[in-house]
A and B are shown apart, each in its own frame.
Chain A
């Protein structure tokens, strides 16, 4: 009883700022401007299929790149001496302490046609390379901003793997490669799963990155929703419906992700 009272503040918070808004979104999604019940908001969504597809594709690519960069980084990091680990973790997190917008603006000027990269390439007689306002620029922005969210959970799982498990696998005849594939990798999957979740979810709904680095040419779900609430297209009902659909799709995605993960745990060897 006493323990439970400690949770009261959070339960109230949860009710006011999590449950209530979700209910509001559901209500908005199923009503029209005039206030009556309608499913029109959902049927109108057909023309945004391409936006959905693009958002999910870019988010998946970003997540995959984050994994490809973040896993080796986390793996190497976890094997370093404690002192170097601390310094490298600091460096990894340092950009996160800088304002998000500022970081993304910085990438704008790096990727610009007259930006750092282009000029550098030009110096060697290459280019000009057009990166800004392309999907590639959006992916670069996402990877840069979300990489720590992949590397940190993977690192924290790998660093906790008992060293003697690795030695046991070596002892039983495992070459470095098989030890990694049969012991380290399966044991680090929980970290990979939470990393994927933590990168994919914000990536699929971002709008600042796509606006600044994609030049507004590549409309993503985040942009679409923002337009319905703040933009000229003002239609909170449609916005709510899109947000709701996105939420459901993400939930389904995560569900399969976790299912796959559970199976993977054991499937690796059999």
Chain B
């Protein structure tokens, strides 16, 4: 594996006594695309700002290439940042924005080299010909690219990106995701990316760091995070999950709703209560008699590639994604393969996520926000 470039050791950050980062440990490898993922207020931006040097951790150490950099100000770090709202200099044109950092370099860079490096960078972000444009006259995506070029022209070892695609529309966001991945590979440097968008995180990253409440919940590849979530929060935050209470009866056997299911996990205490994650796409609909569980369809939504159907099992509602239509009111059986069942230890998030009882209410809220308060709709449905 490649070597470690950045390490946060026991980093805690508190503002006016309020802890926003709680003793985190994070190691970032050279040339990797690492994403800090979590809901707003989870501490992901603070973590990024500590690496960038805009914030000094209340306690703990930051290492860069083995050296402690707690006291190094931002302008002396070999790290550059793409800010959330780009933070382009409005009093300068595109060329001067990109040249800004080069003009600060010591020893000074010759004019010819400066021009060629700026133009080369504009080429990489597909903005050749825009040199003399005012930044205010550019579209969001173009401004974004100026911000990236401005940071990358300094050839940093690490590029920090703070929700850089947040202000763009969906199509552009998808394009820019590919673009960013391409740039990262072309420049062959480390990207540390902050987002609350799990799809973005899964699509681009080599490693994903899931955060909540100032703590790191899980670090892993996108596949690990999706397939082997550490707890109910991660399972719910990354993709759709049905999370139900279960009891491990033995290694490879879990009891849900009084029925035993085969699974691949083990190493739990006998009869240990656990959280069981079942992804909506891992559930097969079968004939009533063949099912491991039977339930009633209460809601069907057409999503294009598949249907989202909500099935009521003894009052607990599951989300199932299927390409076969089962009408509302139908009684169906379901089957889950052992590799579709993932067992997690109980955590402080147990019981908070993965219940689709309010699913239809959510849809009501979106389609007709003013009509019914969510609570009422939920009651009417169940």
Contacts and interface: CB of A to CB of B under 8 A. Distances in A.
B89 A171 contact: no
A162 B87 contact: yes
Interface string B78-111: 0111011101111110001000110111000000
A1 interface: no
A171 B96 contact: no
B81 A175 contact: no
B75 A171 contact: yes
A114 interface: no
B104 A174 contact: yes
A270 interface: yes
B100 A170 contact: no
Contacts of A69: none
Given A173-B104, A173-B105, A186-B91, A167 B74 contact: yes
Contacts of A174: 75, 100, 104
Contacts of B100: 169, 172, 174, 182, 269
A191 to B, nearest CB: 13
A164 B91 contact: no
12 contacts: A164-B83, A168-B89, A170-B53, A170-B75, A171-B52, A171-B75, A171-B81, A172-B75, A173-B104, A173-B154, A174-B100, A174-B104
B104 A178 contact: yes
A178 B74 CA distance: 13
Contact of B101 (A172, A186, A187, A269): A172
Given A164-B83, A167-B83, A170-B75, A187 B91 contact: yes
Given A167-B83, A170-B75, A174-B75, A265 B104 contact: no
Contact of B89 (A170, A173, A183): A183
Contacts, number: 69
B89 A164 contact: no
B150 interface: yes
Nearest to B98: A172
B54 interface: yes
A168 B75 contact: no
Interface of A: 162, 164-165, 167-175, 178-179, 182-183, 186-187, 265-266, 268-270
Interface of B: 52-54, 73-75, 79-81, 83-85, 87-92, 96, 100-101, 103-105, 150-151, 154
A162 B89 CA distance: 10
Contacts of A269: 92, 96, 100, 103
Contacts of B92: 266, 269
Contacts of A165: 87, 89
Contacts of A270: 96
B195 to A, nearest CB: 17
Given A167-B54, A270-B96, A172 B91 contact: no
Contact of A265 (B84, B85, B88, B91): B91
A173 B109 CA distance: 14
Nearest to B79: A171
Nearest to A170: B74
Contacts of B73: 170
Nearest to A265: B91
Nearest to A168: B87
Contacts of A179: 75
Contacts of B74: 167, 170-171
